[in-house]
Structure 1
Amino acid sequence: MSSSPRPTALAAGYLLVPEPPSVDEYVALRAAAGLSAISPAQAAPAVRTSWAWTVVRTEAGSLAAMGRVIGDGGWYFHIADMATQPAHQRRGLGRCVLEDLLGRIRAAAPPDPYITLMADPPGRRLYDALGFVDAAPTLGMRWDGR
């Protein structure tokens, strides 16, 4: 990977923490940020078994932002659940979470890891700014085998 710019400073009043949120916090922040709803039964394994988590908490301890990495620890890493509480948006918290996760991948993985994410429109500007590009001709797909 190419060298990256100096990490963004976290806004005053926030703490960057390399740990998962609680299951209840995870479910609630996904809903508040407009991500698809999930149940606590779906959330528990995600919280427990993800390769890495980074969260931002207020000084009072409430969850303000989060992101996680799913992966094999060697080559493939998928960034998921990038979300910020609406009341805390536009303060660079998502950028700090993503930069931290990318730094942790770079520190742990052999050279040239394959890092992916699914980019919803609100996140595109951030992902573009940090070097993510369309995976064309690959097209993201999901199973809808109900």
Structure 2
Amino acid sequence: MEIINSIIPVETYRRLRRECGLSDKTEQAATIGLKKTVHSVMVKEAAEVIGMGRLIGDGGCFCQIVDICVLPQYQGKGIGKIIMKDLTDFIQTQLPESCYISLLADGDASFLYEQFGFKDAMPQSKGMFLKR
């Protein structure tokens, strides 16, 4: 297994999102968005990228963990933990201490994130979104 810290290629990003059950992004959206990544990680097995995660934001005041996904056939093998460890190591060593890190947890993913110190923002804060 290989850990790669570089911008995720557009087609790899779109493939992983589709195969992991996340919403697809257009090629245009992915091209724009991926260039604005603060830090990213890919996990590769043999010649295939099997998981990824990204940190987006301004790199100083606010960042958000997004796109955490592992191909279904590799889930439950600790790959999500590898991705989160890479992202949180970057957060701890490269970002200002006052940088606010957030994420949205789908389903049982909150159990993974809690292992890395993330807590439910409720009742102090309520996550909201606007979908176009």
State the TM-score, normalizing by the size of structure 1: 0.84
Alignment of 1:49-64 (within 5 A): 49-58=36-45, 60-64=46-50
Count of residues in Structure 1 that have an aligned counterpart in Structure 2: 131
1:128 aligns with 2:103: no
Is structure 2 residue 22 aligned with structure 1 residue 30? Answer: no
Cα RMSD for the two superposed structures: 1.3
Could you say which residue in structure 2 is the equivalent of 1:41?
28
Q: Which residue of structure 1 lines up, in the alignment, with residue 105 of structure 2?
A: 119
| 1:142 equivalent in structure 2 | 129
Alignment gaps of 5+ in structure 2: none
- Residues in 2 aligned to 1:45 and 1:102: alpha-carbon distance in whole angstroms: 24
Aligned partner (choices 68, 75, 78) of residue 54 of structure 2: 68
The yes-or-no answer on 1:104 pairing with 2:55 is: no
Q: Which amino acid aligns with 1:96?
A: I
Q: Whole-Å Cα distance in 2 between the matches of residues 55 and 20 of structure 1?
A: 9
**Aligned mates of 2:77, 2:121 — CA distance in 1:** 28
Runs of 4+ in 1 over 6 A off after TM superposition: none
104-113 vs 132-141, which deviates more? 104-113
- For residues 20 and 91 of structure 1, the distance between their equivalents in structure 2, rounded to whole angstroms, comes to 24
Do the aligned partners of 1:18 and 1:55 also contact (CA within 8 Å) in 2?
A: yes
Identity %: 32
**For the Cα contact (< 8 Å) 2:17–2:69, is it kept in 1?**
yes
